[in-house]
Amino acid sequence: MGIKNKGCLEVNIGSIKMQNPVMVASGTFGYGEEYSELVDINKLGAVVTKTITLEPREGNPPPRMIETPSGMINSIGLQNVGVEEFVDKKLPFLKKFKARIIVSIAGNTVEEYAQLASILDKEKIDGIELNISCPNVMHAGGKTLFAQDAAITDELVHKARKATSLPLIIKLSPNVTDIVEIAVRAEDAGADALSLVNTFQAMAVKINNGGVSKIITGGLSGPAIKPIALRMVWEVAHNVEIPVIGMGGIMDVEDAIEFLIAGASAVAVGTAMFINPQAPVKIIAGIEEYLRKNKLGSVRELQERNNRR
């Protein structure tokens, strides 16, 4: 039995009004078509697309994924069809559904982010996520991620802000000394919301008896990173005024509620999709049931009640 007022699940991420606070994270849901027969997209708060670049990318050579204790490492390398094919062939499918459409983008330079934002500004989407923190791709001429440099983050967000009137969500990296500093710079530069955290830089060694072992480096996700991600969401949410989207090891409703209590306005489900495509829908139903049982009228009320303690 659900709660009487379905509106209690509604949340706002900047000017993006979502029917519930549950999103699917970039890179785990493809372009939507891949999961459309496995999950009811109309029930999701938002779909964050696979990260799009100006030109098509083949990504990194295999092996690109490996399971680890309580998690997985991926090194896909932003494989995607490029913005032109995405707009022409992938985006029309997503527009059929009620879920909000947030397009994740990445560039080799600051200028490429602005160019992508300008292209997407003409499309009927709900927002843009600037993926400045993919651990498998370094910016041109550099040895660090955009999100690891406060000054570059500032410049990048400023230029993207000038290129589009769409809401901008900045995806931050946990691979930094002070994530709050980067978050504040992104907010000051014009970000409408922040999403965190992206994956942690990690490595796995696959041992072959009598043969050559394989070393895989990439981004670690899944339950293993949740306690650290939760702490970072808490720190950032209490130091910025804009909404925070929490992610990192959210596998079930309890995980999602923990992130909401820590200060996230919404949550994104990622690695769980590889285990159970129904995970985000179950989490939505679970949040609804939790609010009903605890006589809470909204997600915001859940946050306010816990912050008073």
pLDDT in the model for residue 2 = 43
What's at 10, amino acid-wise? Answer: E
Neighbour count for residue 162 (Cβ, 10 Å): 12
Tell me what pLDDT residue 304 has. 83
Give per-residue pLDDT as tens, 107-165: 999 999 999 999 999 999 999 999 999 876 655 455 678 999 999 999 999 999 999 99
CATH number of 6-59+77-199+222-307: 3.20.20.70
Residue 7 is predicted with a pLDDT of: 53
pLDDT of residue 143: 60
Among the listed residues 103, 132, 134, 281, the single catalytic one is 134
Give the per-residue pLDDT at 63. Answer: 84
Q: Given this model, what pLDDT does residue 6 score?
A: 53
Going by C-alpha positions, the residue among 151, 76, 161 that lies closest to residue 113 is: 161
Predicted local distance difference test score (pLDDT) of residue 206 = 84
The pTM for the full model equals: 0.94
Identify each DSSP E strand in 189-257 by its residue range: 193-196, 200-206, 214-221, 244-246
Tell me what pLDDT residue 273 has: 95
Ranges under pLDDT 50 in the chain:
1-4, 140, 309
pLDDT given at position 33: 94
Report the alpha-carbon distance of residue 136 to residue 159 in Å, rounded: 23
Q: Where are the domains of the chain?
A: 6-59+77-199+222-307
Nearest to 242, CA basis, from 122, 140, 135, 161: 161
d(CA 21, CA 85): 29
134 catalytic per annotation = yes
